């Protein structure tokens, strides 16, 4: 018989004031606390105390946002294996995620490839390439990068948003598992 306990966020989002929710969960979306604020204003209940429950509601807030707001959230993400990563300027979450994919161990050629793809992608779409790197290695990330460069702008914006929502969910799961 399993005694597996479901993951619960602490503090419980359903019991948070706006300020408390923003303090504890406002950084789940990179430099975009408005997503947590929108979730609070939408209304939280006990279902949102689980990481996937809060992630689903916050994802809905981002999906319902204007395209300008969505693009601003995408632009808040750093380049993969980019200058901010090299100089140690990433958020703690981004540093951990990129390290987990081995991006901090890129060879000089791989860094050059990431830099070239980052520039081509930003030139084409006007925002950085975003991918949920958990479970991916450098080769898989580079392959996805090259493949997604062929997408239409609207498709790529939606793909980036879907990955950002996945990243947020993984961050919430990670926080709940450490609580």
Query: What's the rounded Cα separation, in Å, for the pair 17 and 38?
Result: 13
77 is catalytic: yes
- Phi then psi for residue 131, to 5 deg, are -145, 140
The one catalytic residue among 48, 77, 104, 105: 77
Closest CA to 78 of 63, 65, 90: 90
- Assigned token pair, 47: 């279902």
Query: What's the rounded Cα separation, in Å, for the pair 43 and 39?
Result: 6
CA dihedral 135, 141, 147, 150 (to 10 degrees): 120
Distances (CA, A) of 169 to 37, 61, 134, 147: 16, 13, 11, 24
State the catalytic residues.
Answer: 77
């Amino acid at each position: 018989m399993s005694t597996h306990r479901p993951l619960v966020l602490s503090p419980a989002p359903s019991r948070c004031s706006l300020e408390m929710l923003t303090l504890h969960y406002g950084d789940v979306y990179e430099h975009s606390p408005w997503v947590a604020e929108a979730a609070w204003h939408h209304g939280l209940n006990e279902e949102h105390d689980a990481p996937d429950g809060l992630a689903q509601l916050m994802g809905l807030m981002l999906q319902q946002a204007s395209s300008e707001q969505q693009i601003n959230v995408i632009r808040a993400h750093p380049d993969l294996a980019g200058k901010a990563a090299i100089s140690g300027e990433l958020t703690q979450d981004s540093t951990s995620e990129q390290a987990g994919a081995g991006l901090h161990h890129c060879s000089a050629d791989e860094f050059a490839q990431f830099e070239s793809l980052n520039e081509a992608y930003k030139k084409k779409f006007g925002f950085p390439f975003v991918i949920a790197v958990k479970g991916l290695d450098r080769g898989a990330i580079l392959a996805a990068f090259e493949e997604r460069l062929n997408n239409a702008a609207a498709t790529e914006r939606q793909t980036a948003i879907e990955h950002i929502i996945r990243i947020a969910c993984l961050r919430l799961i990670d926080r709940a598992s450490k609580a």
